[in-house]
A and B are shown apart, each in its own frame.
Chain A
């Protein structure tokens, strides 16, 4: 910015250091807590530096959980979360890119109504239509299944809009050339549109992966069978356990860390794509 003095630069650094510290604090506290033994909490031995039980706690959390506190092992839950997140992200992208293709590159009588129908999904977050959606899923026999965890969340107006915007910037000359060369719509889609939207797809995948991984309410409703629990919804069960007699905060915090590390790594590793995806989907 114009006229920044050394003093204001120092001030900016201080603001950001303080900000970063506040943002990191919960993570650090959780990590430290996950390296102590359960009994250390009440005796006040949990301090500001990590303790000696790191490997032991994480192995316990991943493989066995705590049967006395009713905590299922985190390993299988992580796998479920991964499946759910990937299926939701890939599914949303697939059906949205197809419908955006139809809406942009064809003229047909129901084009505008179809667009509005898709647009409506933007206005119906799952929290709002929660009970009837659950009943529909139950009637279709989708409870306790991967299909039930993913398919109801797979429609996406935002992704459709994004692809529509991308397609509108692609020159018509390409379409004309394809038509002259006798390429059908599917050939055009596969050989031209898809490669041209590659970066958008990648950016969108990052955002949708986070969306899928972080689902909470829906998995909570459609699963009663522990073998379909996702790690984010599993956390609720832990909190109940943590405040009971047996102190299991170390396992709760280990689970919380395991639940947040995959999406955080995705953001950190693909920061550029993430920022791009975020700003594009919200336009």
Chain B
């Protein structure tokens, strides 16, 4: 981590400049994260009066807890579906927009705006369309012979939150794929076309490899989004239910901590999530290092 070649003299000034950010970081990030770490190693007694050191027992309890394992499964299924759907559609739209050239301008606005919608609001929009009694889509499905009721049916509830979460994220993937496609040198594609490569071959052998860094970056970003930024969608629509059908890990941390008041268990879950974030961030940074190196 280098500094500028030419720097200013000053012993106190840099500390004063850093003070606001470091203060906020210490008080609202390091302190709480430290507390989570510590209380994940303690168990509170039934009255919440004292706590005893239990080592890794909270973590062991998590791994034995079927509800937690179920949340792990739901999270991965949810993240996989959201990522696949949002990236697939993003790439499809980006490829179409790239083929149109300048004429793609208007479409871009129409495709990008959902990025600005809050997850909770996105969830509510989809919830209304699928409302079993008044929702437009639910009614249309009923005429096709599918009885839709996500309030009772866990699979349908999960489908609903996946659709809402993916809908919001398509915009982001579209923008990055579009930029990635735009950066592919036309010469390479023209040369391949002259050599007799069809559109599919050109995609397979030129576009796809050149798009790989973008794809990898988006994969990490989408997984992070699905794991952590979708809390609002779940909380505002299904509330994790019916049963535990849509309880993803971040939702469970919240529910166990604030409603179940299980401090040790919730903290242990926080620590597990922390490890997931660290892993995803590390992956993301490998990408950045490569990008910066040119």
Enumerate chain A interface residues (CB-CB to B < 8 A).
1-4, 8-9, 11-13, 15-16, 19-20, 22-27, 29-30, 33, 41-42, 46, 94-96, 98-99, 101-108, 110-112, 114-115, 117-118, 120-125, 127-133, 135-137, 140, 151-152, 154-155, 160, 167-168, 172, 175-176, 179, 184-186, 188, 210, 213-217, 220-221, 232-233, 235-236, 238-239, 243, 247, 249, 252-253, 256, 259-260, 263-264, 266-268, 271, 274-275, 278-279, 282-283
Contact = CB atoms under 8 A, between A and B. Distances in A.
A265 B119 CA distance: 17
Contacts of B235: 216-217, 220, 236
Nearest to B5: A172
Given A23-B170, A167-B4, A214-B119, A279 B28 contact: no
28 contacts: A2-B190, A4-B99, A8-B199, A19-B111, A23-B114, A29-B128, A94-B20, A96-B21, A98-B21, A99-B22, A105-B7, A106-B8, A106-B13, A114-B22, A118-B21, A128-B273, A131-B267, A151-B28, A155-B21, A155-B25, A172-B5, A184-B8, A214-B117, A217-B254, A232-B121, A238-B124, A253-B128, A271-B112
Q: Is chain A's interface secondary structure helix, strand, loop, or mixed overall? A: helix
A120 B100 contact: no
Given A19-B93, A105-B7, A185 B13 contact: yes
A254 B134 CA distance: 16
Interface of B: 1, 3-8, 10-11, 13-15, 17-18, 20-22, 24-33, 35-36, 39, 89, 92-93, 95-100, 104, 107-122, 124-129, 131, 133-134, 136, 167, 170-172, 175-176, 179, 186, 189-190, 192-193, 199, 202, 217, 221, 228, 231-232, 235-237, 250, 253-254, 257-258, 263, 266-267, 270, 273-274, 277-278, 281, 288, 291
Contacts of A106: 3, 7-8, 10, 13-14, 17
A88 B87 CA distance: 30
B104 A279 contact: no
B4 to A, nearest CB: 5
A1 B6 contact: no
B278 to A, nearest CB: 5
Contacts of B109: 268, 271
A95 to B, nearest CB: 4
Contacts of A20: 107, 110-111
Given A19-B93, A217-B235, A267 B36 contact: no
Contacts of A103: 1, 3, 14, 18
B128 A33 contact: yes
Nearest to A127: B250
Contacts, number: 315
Q: Which of B22, B186, B190 is the most central at the interface, judged by chain A CB atoms within 10 Å of its CB? A: B22
Contacts of A2: 186, 189-190, 192-193, 202
B25 A120 contact: yes
Q: Which of A168, A221, A275 is the most central at the interface, judged by chain B CB atoms within 10 Å of its CB? A: A275
B3 A114 contact: no
B281 A123 contact: yes
Q: Give the top 7 A-B pairs by smallest Cβ distance, nearest first.
A: A132-B32, A214-B118, A106-B14, A102-B17, A216-B232, A263-B116, A20-B110
Contact of A128 (B22, B24, B93, B274): B274
A166 to B, nearest CB: 12
A107 B113 contact: no
A172 B20 CA distance: 26
Nearest to A94: B20
Given A1-B98, A1-B99, A42-B133, A19 B29 contact: no
A179 B6 contact: yes
B29 A124 contact: yes
B33 A132 contact: yes
B4 A172 contact: yes
B6 A175 contact: yes
A104 B25 contact: no
B228 A3 contact: no
B32 A252 contact: no
A264 B116 contact: yes
